[in-house]
Amino acid sequence: MAFNVGLRGTLEDAQAVAAAVRESSGGLPGVQALGLALGDAVQVSTNLVDVAATPLHRLVERIVVEAEARGATVGAGELVGLVPARCVVEAGLAHGVRPDGVDEDGLPSGAALEAARDALRLESLAPDRVLEWHLQ
């Protein structure tokens, strides 16, 4: 899954945060990350290749910690493509939405989507961004 996080800081901050979270540099398992400049903005661009090893909300939490340790602040998250329902439910659980935050088909409820949106720092998280919604 591809997920990006904007930073208010320097390219060096984004690169340092990326190095701190990516598995190959001793960071989180199943995470690939780069610090990139996009015009005047910088971001940490990630690929989460093992959501069982590192839940998406934990990756975002770690990016926040690493950015703040360097004096940078975290902006919005950006989901590229679709997110597995598992990631939505886990983020919701971590932020107070109970397991009944899914419907009978296992799709996240509105409350779970809202909690995940906040946890992942997304501007919005519509049901059609959940992988399983397309598999129904």
Same-domain pairing of 72 and 16 = yes
Buried b (16+ CB within 10 A) or exposed e, 86-117: bbbbbbbbebebeeebbeeeebbbeebbbbbb
Which pLDDT does position 101 carry in this prediction?
61
Answering whether pTM is above 0.85, one says: yes
Same-domain pairing of 10 and 51 = yes
Same-domain pairing of 30 and 11 = yes
Which pLDDT does position 103 carry in this prediction?
72
State how far the alpha carbon of 126 is from the alpha carbons of 9, 53, 85, 112, 113, in Å. 29, 25, 12, 11, 7
User: Is the dihedral angle over the CA atoms 6, 56, 122, 69 positive or is it negative?
Assistant: negative
Which pLDDT does position 44 carry in this prediction?
98
Same-domain pairing of 106 and 92 = yes
The Cβ of residue 3 has, within 10 Å, a number of other Cβ atoms equal to 24
- Give the count of domains, the chain: 2
Q: Domain span at residue 42?
A: 2-80
Per residue in 77-95, pLDDT (tens digit) is: 999 999 999 999 899 888 8
Which pLDDT does position 72 carry in this prediction?
97
Which pLDDT does position 19 carry in this prediction?
98
Residues of the chain with pLDDT under 50: none
Which two three-digit tokens encode residue 38? Answer: 């996009």
DSSP symbol at 109 = P
Q: 123 burial class (0-12, 13-18, 19+ CB within 10 angstroms)? A: exposed
* Tokens 């703040």 -> residue: 68
CATH number, position 75? 3.30.70.670
